[in-house]
Amino acid sequence: MAITMDYSQAAEGNGDIQDGVYECVINRFGFDNYKDREFIKFDLIVRNDVPQKYQNKHIFDNFYPKKDTGKYAMGYIYMIGVKAAMQDGKKYADTAAMLADFTGHAVKVTVKNEEYNGKTYLHIKKWEPTAFPQIQHRWKDSKDESSSNSNPSFGTQAQASQANTADSFANNGQPIDVSNDDLPF
């Protein structure tokens, strides 16, 4: 089989995403829990229908409620909704239903690697409207590689097979233990 060197596909270092601006599609927003503290987990995928590095890589970030009130700063979630072109005035049964509706929307994010307790974590520093509103992203493991999935349902992972429909953000309120061996990078 012939192969051609392709600099545009070269991985950087160990595959960690560098600081920068990326066009993404929202894979899912959902609730998670760590040490009995609930938070909202953001899972974005760097779009593969836009020429950029790190296509199909996930960008994870967390949004915690205020310590003094225990409530989320909903203005921040609404700001993301504006940037993701969500429908203004749409009513939802609860926050979980609203978060589910973000799935499949495109955004542009600025990310920065920051050190905390001796480890480096990627954080979303800025949300913007996408410069490419026509989403042609192809989900990595979809059964039909020829079709794009611009609005996957929240109850299943966008790129998962139909047999695996478990909500990976839910753990019955129990903490989730993740070791370095569990991470793909």
Structure confidence at residue 164 (pLDDT): 36
pTM over cut 0.85: no
- Give the CATH fold of the 16-132 domain: OB fold (Dihydrolipoamide Acetyltransferase, E2P) (2.40.50)
The DSSP secondary structure of 71-110, one letter per residue, reads ---HHHHHHHHHHTTPPTT---SSHHHHHHHTTT-EEEEE
Two structure tokens written together for 13: 């270092």
Structure confidence at residue 165 (pLDDT): 38
The domains of the chain are located at 16-132
Q: What is the pLDDT along the chain (185 residues), one digit of tens a residue?
A: 677 787 766 655 445 899 999 999 999 999 999 888 899 999 999 999 999 999 999 999 999 999 899 899 999 999 999 999 999 999 999 999 999 999 999 999 999 999 988 888 899 999 999 999 999 999 876 533 333 333 333 333 333 333 333 454 555 555 566 666 666 65
At residue 99, what are phi and psi to the nearest 5 degrees? Answer: -60, -35
